């Protein structure tokens, strides 16, 4: 039996020309992908930005911070660095490049010429847990790319600053660093730096510091040297030759936003998260809880044989047991009232009276903790506190579990 098959005619010249159809850079790269993982990486599927609050939208402590002491925080995850003198104001600014809504703005409060090993700048930490996919300390360490948008005021137009990564190996070994210089202008620029992986030392696999991302804005001569193009064991903040002094003029400004740290050799488009995702990621390290509960007794009180203390659960999983402070006092001493079951205040029957102290406790295994308001040891009168209210400063109790 003979079967006749007929196919519609086609123009072979037309089909051949389609082979040259432009597919764009990504299309070409995708067609060249050898594995599914390569393709996934190329289109940046899934979460990619390891830097938290890169769009500078979250500032739970307030929107302006004048800082002159080391290790103080401004916008969420942004920590002030002082070696010598560094007195600057950090602001959450509405100045931003296209596609963003906020930026971090920093401006010096006074002029200062750094000497010796002085350092001025700021940093943000990434937990070691979140960096293990970089495979540092193995035969196949992965490279990663940092990108950010920055600009200056006219007075520091053309200033050169230094971006540095410090990597924290396991066992408490000395950090390893790598540096890149960059020059800011009065217009927003996107800077991208690709870091090759470090095959010699790992990154500690813990909830402690894994990376420090540093913007070094000034340094004394002892901390300015050639660029570290390879990972180098050094526990210091270092700047690259040509470094400018951010603190030479109080009109100087440094703006930063769109910070992204991603695996791979390319800086891809910034990963915009929803506001609640950004906030949730920050709340692992810092949150405000509870809001002021004056007039609303909400703390169950435990009265043991000799003391009274109120307790509430912290509704966020945090990196480590946090340190609580009252924004008004700047300390762990706050204002509160304990009441008996008739609604009468009995605070003064305890040693701390209406100035109880705050502390936190819990099990570090799962990140859930409780907050205690301690009225102190029992002194006189009926020992019958049942419930308490917290009456400290707005907006609420600061719970700090930063790195």
Which residue in the set 322, 336, 356, 392 belongs to the binding site for other proteins (CB under 8 A)? Answer: 322
Going edge to edge, which strands form the sheet with 396-400? Answer: 286-291, 396-400, 323-326
Q: Supply the minimum distance, in Å, between the C-beta of residue 302 and other proteins.
A: 6
Of 82 and 146, which has the nearer Cβ to other proteins?
A: 82
Q: Please report whether residue 126 would count as binding other proteins according to CB under 8 A.
A: no
Which of 211, 270, 378, 390 binds other proteins (CB under 8 A)? It is: 378
Task: State the minimum distance, in angstroms, from the CB of residue 174 to other proteins.
Answer: 15
* Under rule CB under 8 A, residue 111 binds other proteins: no
Q: Which of 281, 292, 319, 327 binds other proteins (CB under 8 A)?
A: 319
From residue 35, alpha-carbon distances to 29, 32, 209 in Å are 12, 9, 33
Distance CA 143, CA 131 (A): 12
Q: What sign has the CA pseudo-torsion 339, 340, 346, 350? A: negative
Q: What is the C-alpha to C-alpha distance for residues 270 and 102, in angstroms, rounded to an integer?
A: 14
Position among 229, 364, 394, 395 found at the interface with other proteins (CB under 8 A) = 364
Q: Which of 66, 58, 46, 47 is nearest to 101 (CA)?
A: 58
Q: Is 323 in the site for other proteins (CB under 8 A)?
A: yes
Three-class SS state of 158: coil
Q: Which is nearer to other proteins, 138 or 364 (CB)?
A: 364
State residue 39 phi and psi, 5-degree precision. -65, -40
How far the first Cα of the chain sits from its last, in Å, is 81
Among 8, 295, 305, 343, binds other proteins (CB under 8 A): 305
CA distances from 244 to 34, 79, 181, 215, 221 (A): 45, 21, 10, 12, 11
* CB of 212 or CB of 267, closer to other proteins: 212
Outline where 231-297 has alpha helix (H): 275-283
CB of 311 to other proteins, least distance (A): 9
Please report whether residue 331 would count as binding other proteins according to CB under 8 A: yes
Site string for other proteins, 333-362 (x = CB under 8 A): x-----------------------xxxxx-
Binding region for other proteins (CB under 8 A): 71, 206-208, 302, 304-307, 309, 319-325, 329-333, 357-361, 364, 369, 372, 374, 377-378, 383, 401-403
């Amino acid at each position: 039996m003979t079967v006749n098959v007929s196919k519609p005619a086609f123009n072979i010249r037309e089909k051949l020309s389609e082979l040259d159809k432009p597919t764009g850079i990504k299309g070409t790269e995708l067609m060249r992908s050898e594995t599914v993982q390569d393709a996934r990486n190329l289109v940046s599927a899934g979460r990619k930005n390891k830097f938290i609050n890169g769009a500078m939208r979250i500032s739970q402590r307030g929107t302006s911070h004048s800082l002159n002491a080391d290790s103080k925080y401004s916008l969420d995850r942004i920590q002030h660095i002082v070696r010598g003198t560094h007195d600057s104001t950090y602001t959450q600014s509405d100045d931003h490049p296209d596609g963003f809504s906020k930026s971090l703005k920093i401006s010096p409060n006074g002029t200062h010429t750094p000497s010796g090993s002085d350092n001025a700048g700021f940093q943000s930490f990434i937990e070691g847990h979140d960096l293990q996919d970089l495979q540092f300390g193995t035969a196949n360490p992965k490279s990663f790319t940092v990108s950010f948008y920055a600009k200056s005021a006219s007075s520091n137009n053309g200033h050169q600053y230094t971006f540095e990564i410090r990597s924290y190996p396991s066992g408490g070994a000395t950090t390893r660093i790598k540096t890149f210089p960059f020059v800011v202008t009065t217009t927003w620029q996107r800077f991208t730096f690709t870091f090759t992986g470090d095959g010699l030392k790992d990154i500690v696999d813990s909830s402690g510091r894994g990376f420090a991302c540093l913007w070094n804005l000034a340094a004394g001569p002892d901390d300015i040297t050639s660029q570290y193009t390879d990972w180098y064991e050094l526990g210091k903040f270092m700047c690259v030759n040509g470094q400018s002094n951010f603190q030479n003029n109080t009109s100087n400004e440094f703006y930063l936003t769109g910070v992204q740290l991603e695996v791979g050799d390319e800086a891809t488009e910034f990963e915009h998260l929803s506001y609640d995702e950004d906030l949730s990621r920050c709340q692992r390290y810092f949150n405000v809880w509870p809001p002021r509960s004056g007039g609303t007794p909400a703390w169950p009180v435990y009265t043991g044989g000799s003391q009274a203390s109120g307790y509430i659960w912290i509704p966020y999983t945090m990196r480590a047991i946090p340190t609580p402070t009252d924004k008004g006092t700047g300390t762990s001493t706050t204002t509160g009232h304990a009441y008996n079951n008739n609604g009468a205040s009995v605070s003064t029957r305890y040693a701390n009276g209406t100035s109880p102290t705050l502390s936190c406790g819990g099990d570090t295994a799962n990140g859930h903790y409780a907050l205690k308001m301690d009225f102190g040891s029992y002194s006189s009168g009926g020992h019958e506190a049942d419930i308490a209210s917290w009456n400290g400063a707005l907006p609420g109790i600061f719970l700090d579990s930063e790195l």
